Structure 1
Amino acid sequence: MNGIEEIIFEIISNSGEARSILMDVIQRAEKGDFEQSEVKINEAEKRLKNAQKAHFKIITSEAKKRQLPISLLLVHAEDQMMAAELIHDLTKTLVQTEKRIAQLEEKLKR
């Protein structure tokens, strides 16, 4: 495996892990476990940053006029990273919505 392939797999791995963590966050938020949701969001954000740093290495290499072959793995890695970033944004919104619902339900009980 060459250096670029290692970077690509780093993107795929970190993006996939972030996505899995974020799906867990959604389930926790639906159950009202907001404290752990926040902890897990932070964990997912670290994974996303790792993926973004790896991706930046590829972008920097190309900017230095080093021609990189476009491979299916690279396309897959970028797709996984973009999907994880989108899920991250949506998850944060869903957690906030679940918090608001929980607060409203609490008010209705009074």
Structure 2
Amino acid sequence: MDYQEVVFGIIVNSGDAKSYAMEAIKKAKEGKIEEAKSSLEKSSEFLGKSHDIQTKLIQEEANGNGQDLTLLMAHAQDHFMNALTVRDLAKEFIDLYETLEVIKVQVKKCVQ
């Protein structure tokens, strides 16, 4: 696999990770907490794939087989870091919406 294909692997997997993280937020907002957690797991799986690719590139560079930094690689790293951030925020949103669901149940009990 050539360098550009490897870099595109980071972009594609990071994009999928971000999409699943956004889906997790949407599901949590709808009160579908378990589905949200499932989407978050999928996000983490795709981030793991991106991280594995990145690690291999770093190891290659450490072994003296580095590549020149290209705009494409900078773009890939940007996608990766954004996906990490969105995934981390999605976890916080899920926790928040889960807490809100518990509070809603408690309020309903008090009102009855």
- Asked if TM exceeds 0.5, the reply is yes
Deviation (angstroms), 1:67 = 3.2
Q: Deviations over 1:32-74 (max 9, x none)?
A: 0011111111111110000000111111111111231110110
Root mean square deviation of aligned Cα:
1.0
Name the structure 2 match of 1:3. Answer: 2
Q: Which runs of 5+ in 1 are unaligned?
A: none
Name the structure 2 match of 1:36. Answer: 35
Deviation (angstroms), 1:4 = 1.2
The answer as to whether partners of 1:4 and 1:58 remain within 8 angstroms in 2 is: no
Letter in 2 for 1:90: L
What is the distance in 1 between the residues matched to 2:37 and 2:68?
A: 39
Letter in 1 for 2:79: Q
Moved over 2 A (4+): none
Q: Deviations over 1:1-29 (max 9, x none)?
A: x6111110000000000101111110100
Counterpart mapping for 1:1-110 below 5 A: 3-110=2-109
Q: Which runs of 5+ in 2 are unaligned?
A: none
What is the distance in 1 between the residues matched to 2:16 and 2:107?
A: 38
Count of aligned residue pairs for this structure pair: 109
Identity of aligned residues (%): 28
Q: TM-score, normalised by structure 2?
A: 0.93
